[in-house]
Chain A
């Protein structure tokens, strides 16, 4: 078998997923790992099939690119859970599953008699992963919530935005509140599967999106927990206790770059000197002398001396300005490659579509073609988060049509 034919790590595991906006990403990843994920929708399709964008901007439940992305590699069945016969078929389906994944409002499945409490007696090995905004039973569990409010209430928004605090703090793009919850739902399913190997028992896992946001804000939380300090947001860099200097510059082609941390060692100063000379920029940079001085350093600059020792301050400032000056005189990609090839850690601020065109991502096989035989075309999708040669993560096929796999229902 070639790598593309190998089953994934979760081959043989069946997941029944109740279609849901927040949990769709978790189901996608479990399917990417090779689980058979059966997504359960209402008879006329789940409401997320109405989400933009659409193929050629023509709204249609089979043309939502949101649905395509989040439901790739899954199988699809439809059930009207208001109907008792359909609920029986759902129970029969669950009886064949290793994992149930759902993000239903607390109480809804209990009211229908198809929740974990009701079903577990007959299925002690079943793993049930529930993903909700505040957990299933906490004091805020009945609040109305969407991605925006998860991120606002959970901490990420406080840390993101601009130096000018008259501008509202920002929610990063891509529904990361839902997706962070989904990442923890996947970790939970995997952990519960490994636990089942150990104990023979299934279990219920209550995953909380608000808690997930709270514990993924790095310094925003740790600074408060350890030292009682409140971080403040800054344009394009870490929210911090004390303001830090810029890391963003605009390259000659109008694309932003992250200029990273300024050189502090003789080696790095020498690299910047050589780079400026090779670009013919030496005579245009007034502080070039301080770069040459830095290249003679016997030990690295100490940050504690910046602002104290005038020479150190001048060298450090010149280094930071020099990197910015170079970036402004060449394209963002030339800057990124030129710096990294010289051992300086900087970044290019790619728009998502530009990632797919980058040679590194292409060589890793990150963009993948997915066949839509129904349309007679294939489209490029996002690939795997990691390369596992013996149990590859991959997109197995396009997302299901409404009720496409109803033959799987008893």
Chain B
């Protein structure tokens, strides 16, 4: 059973990694038919995640990449050798029955394969084409290479994370690969909505660094309006809160190995509850101005309470008096031991043709009428050639056998 939300949409998809594959992953979960085109000669490894760790067991190779499975659930896999004329003809046939073509190659790669936007329009005049790369296809850096950490560095996100007088802590994962995919999904769906209303296709050029830079609004305006840069003494200090100002607001030592407690006072009422619970009696902290002026001393007082306590029990005590608090969750805490993620069904099990049953990331939204479905794992190489080239395009089994023999699929 599939979601009906996007079941009327078909995408000819060249995306890979997470920054691209994440976009069509969302749409696949909501029932869109995502036809993933892969190269049979290089075993689909223009997406390196096909063969990289984590692995479910000792098996290795292009059918065992754990991230590939996670990022390509519910998609269909078709192999086409685009070095051959027959491969190009078959691709044109798929494009001619698709609503959109999507890719996150380096700028210019799809054009060199013979399928730039002009060619796509020849095949299907109202096609939506969405390209996505680190710096987009327009501008002086269009040929520059990126992956998540490079994008995060160049858009300002890395700098915002860390302590004064220390190097940037940055993001300990490719945050902008997730949001590269999410913003790309946003661009695709915006293009589809425009197309369904006007009948008009277009080329949407998505740049991950632009998308990342949109996520830092108030600090950017503090500079453009007040001429106050974030690169200044004492900043950034990202565990504290500047917009809005709050104190205490931080991550404090708790009992146990690498165990931490996050808590904050949103206002004086929260502070009074914290002070009562922790037995802190210091008039300097009575109002926000005082708490900000003596924030180091305030943090010391909070740490004196937290450091001997279990992070989750301490968070419960704070929650009981109406204060926002949470233990810093390790992967096991939030994936295997959190009643909320379990109740949500956040870690569905999909079935992959080689790996078997594997847990994957779920979707953080539930729809009352057309909810997502994640049951099928990422496609094996060419797994759906017969369904698409035969069932959708009408080529016979004999033709498909010839195409395989000729190295086209």
Contacts and interface: CB of A to CB of B under 8 A. Distances in A.
Given A138-B343, A194-B189, A214-B334, A55 B159 contact: no
B343 A148 contact: no
A155 B333 CA distance: 9
B264 interface: yes
Contact of B262 (A152, A219, A344, A381): A152
A351 B186 contact: no
A162 interface: yes
Interface string A143-167: 1111011011111111111100101
A225 B335 contact: yes
A336 to B, nearest CB: 8
B241 A148 contact: yes
B168 A380 contact: no
Interface string B372-384: 0000000000000
B225 interface: yes
A195 B138 CA distance: 32
Interface in A58-87: 65-66, 68-70
A170 B229 contact: no
Contacts of A192: 5, 367, 370
B172 A159 contact: yes
A27 interface: no
A26 to B, nearest CB: 11
A183 B160 contact: no
Contacts of B161: 160, 170-173
Contacts of A309: none
B367 A203 contact: yes
B364 A215 contact: yes
A375 to B, nearest CB: 10
B120 to A, nearest CB: 15
A308 interface: no
Interface in A177-225: 179-181, 183-188, 190-195, 197-199, 201, 203-212, 214-225
Contacts of A379: 221, 224-225
Interface in B332-355: 332, 334-335, 338-341, 343-344, 346-347
Most buried by B among A51, A70, A185, A187: A187
A232 B245 CA distance: 30
- Main secondary structure on chain A at its contact with chain B? mixed
Contacts, number: 526
Contacts of B364: 181, 184, 207-209, 211-212, 214-215
Contact of B339 (A55, A140, A207, A211): A140
B37 interface: no
B343 A139 contact: yes
Contacts of A203: 367-370
B281 interface: no
Interface in A227-271: 227, 229-231, 233-239, 247-248, 250, 256-258, 260
Count class of interface residues, chain A = 35 or more
A389 B331 CA distance: 42
B326 interface: yes
Given A70-B217, A206-B365, A225-B347, A388 B250 contact: no
B329 A152 contact: yes
B317 interface: no
A345 interface: yes
Nearest to B184: A386
A343 to B, nearest CB: 7
Given A149-B326, A174-B215, A389-B202, A160 B54 contact: no
A50 interface: yes
A351 B159 contact: yes
A50 B158 CA distance: 27
Given A257-B153, A388-B190, A389-B202, 11 more contacts: A48-B244, A52-B242, A153-B326, A188-B365, A190-B190, A198-B5, A227-B56, A236-B168, A355-B220, A381-B221, A390-B201
19 contacts: A53-B228, A139-B340, A146-B324, A172-B171, A173-B219, A188-B365, A198-B8, A201-B369, A211-B364, A217-B173, A225-B360, A226-B54, A227-B56, A340-B141, A347-B150, A353-B230, A386-B206, A386-B211, A387-B138
